Amino acid sequence: MVVVRHPMKISFSVFIFSILLIAASGESISTKFPAVSEAELLDRFTIAAKAKDEAAIRSLICWDGPVVKAPVNRNISDLLSREEITTIRMHPLHPLDHLTNLLDGSLYYPNIPVIGWIDVHWRLGESAVRFLYGKKKNAFYISCTAEQKLP
């Protein structure tokens, strides 16, 4: 007797097995499958921010390089401490935006090429929390601040 398995059932089984492996490894699906467009990054960020899901927000950040975690940690803490978010918007980088800082013998700069900002607003009149975002290879991430000690 010949047993013929349906290829769709096999593909679905492989997909489910892959999801289970990712979940068992303790890594976020966002880490394994980064955002492939600005719109997807904004959607994932919006869902995570409104749910106050710190792990999901952190999974959207590019941690590569000699990053300084304090600025992004401060922004995440500020974001999570707010009551109700009114708007989350992306804005393109303006040619005059200054992205580097020289302070106490160190150069601070974004760890990925930046293409814009994600602004999170609360009630009218309150300042926004702002996250830089950019593209690395074929994926979109929130940027961290990298540090380079100068001689």
Q: What is the 3-state secondary structure (H, E, C) of 55-119?
A: HHHHCCECCCCCEEHHHHHHHHHHHHHCCCCCEEEEEECCCCCCCCEEECCEEEEECCCEEEEEE
Percent of the chain with pLDDT over 70: 76
Mean pLDDT of 34-49: 95
Q: What is the pLDDT of residues 73-127, one digit of tens each?
A: 888 988 888 878 888 999 999 888 889 999 999 999 999 999 999 999 887 667 7
pTM, two decimals, is 0.74
- Total residue count of the chain as it appears in this document: 151
CATH number for the domain spanning 121: value is 3.10.450
SS3 83: coil
Same domain, 23 and 47: no
Structural domain that includes position 3: 1-33
Mean residue pLDDT across the chain: 80
Same domain, 8 and 40: no
SS3 146: strand
Question: Is residue 27 pLDDT above 70, yes or no?
Answer: no
Same domain, 144 and 92: yes
Could you tell me the two tokens for 50? 């409104």
